[in-house]
């Protein structure tokens, strides 16, 4: 059944990514049509990964400045997160392998996709592909930290899963994708 018709899209901004104003008619559950207007931010799709070490019971996370969190009350703007990046022209698995090495310094060969999710479907078009991968010290190729030309300044953290779970409870980890991955790791006994 068709639920959307008469779709009109206007580009409001095309600076960093694209911000659209979309007007359309929507078929409501009671059978009536209603005209609606929304804005949608299109930044492309992305991938995220949690590296874990079963023997050490550790995970690899990152810490970096996030302007939107700073604007919304995070005093220093720093967030602890799982490694992530936009797909650009890569498929999700190739993207996350590349991002893992750039951000964390670990060169992984096997990344297991566990699920995909819309992270903020009320306003952002992005689908995020979630991965996990086991790591060892032998896979550390360099210190990580991100790419200078992308203005990245990323700190790499290796912490126990228990500590990471406590950091969620204490409010030190507030990033949604990271919380989802840490919960997955705990539920599935990864670390």
Closest to 46 (Cα-Cα) out of 127, 118, 110: 127
Closest to 82 (Cα-Cα) out of 141, 128, 150, 137: 128
pLDDT at 159: 98
**How far apart (Å, rounded) are the C-alpha atoms in residues 122 and 156?**
31
When pLDDT is cut at 50, 70 and 90, the band that residue 22 belongs to is very high
What DSSP line would sit under 146-177, residue for residue?
A: --GGGT---EEEEEEHHHHHHHHHTTS---HH
pLDDT at 88: 86
**How far apart (Å, rounded) are the C-alpha atoms in residues 49 and 6?**
39
> Within the chain, which residue ranges are assigned CATH 3.90.79.10?
46-187
pLDDT digits (tens, 9 = 90+) for 34-51: 999 999 999 999 999 999
Averaged over 158-184, what is the pLDDT?
Answer: 98
Average pLDDT of the chain, as a whole number = 95
pLDDT digits (tens, 9 = 90+) for 117-144: 999 999 999 999 999 999 999 999 998 8
pLDDT digits (tens, 9 = 90+) for 62-96: 999 999 999 999 999 999 999 999 998 889 999 99
CATH number attached to the domain at 46-187: 3.90.79.10
pLDDT at 151: 67
DSSP state of 138: G
- Residues of the chain with pLDDT > 70, as a percent, come to 99
DSSP state of 100: H
Residues sharing a CB contact under 8 Å with residue 8, sequence separation 6 or more, in sequence order: 22, 23, 24
Lowest-pLDDT choice from 108-117, 143-152, 158-167: 143-152
**How far apart (Å, rounded) are the C-alpha atoms in residues 95 and 48?**
9
State if pTM tops 0.85: yes
């Amino acid at each position: 059944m068709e639920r959307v018709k008469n779709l009109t899209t206007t580009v409001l901004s095309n600076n960093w990514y694209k911000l659209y104003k979309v007007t359309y008619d929507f078929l409501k559950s009671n059978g009536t049509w209603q005209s609606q207007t929304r804005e949608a931010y299109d930044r492309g799709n992305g991938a995220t990964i949690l590296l874990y070490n079963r023997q050490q019971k550790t995970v690899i996370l990152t810490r970096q400045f996030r302007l939107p969190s700073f604007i919304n009350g995070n005093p220093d703007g720093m967030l602890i997160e799982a490694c992530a990046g936009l797909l650009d022209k890569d498929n999700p698995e190739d993207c996350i392998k590349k991002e893992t090495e750039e951000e964390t310094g670990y060169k992984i060969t096997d990344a297991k996709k566990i699920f995909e999710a819309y992270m903020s479907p009320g306003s952002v078009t992005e689908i995020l592909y979630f991965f996990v991968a086991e790591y060892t010290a032998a896979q550390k190729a360099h210190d990580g930290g991100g790419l200078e030309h992308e203005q990245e300044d990323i700190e790499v953290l290796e912490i126990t899963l228990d500590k990471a779970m406590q950091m969620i409870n204490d409010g030190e980890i507030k990033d949604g994708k990271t919380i989802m991955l840490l919960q997955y790791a705990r539920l599935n006994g990864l670390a």
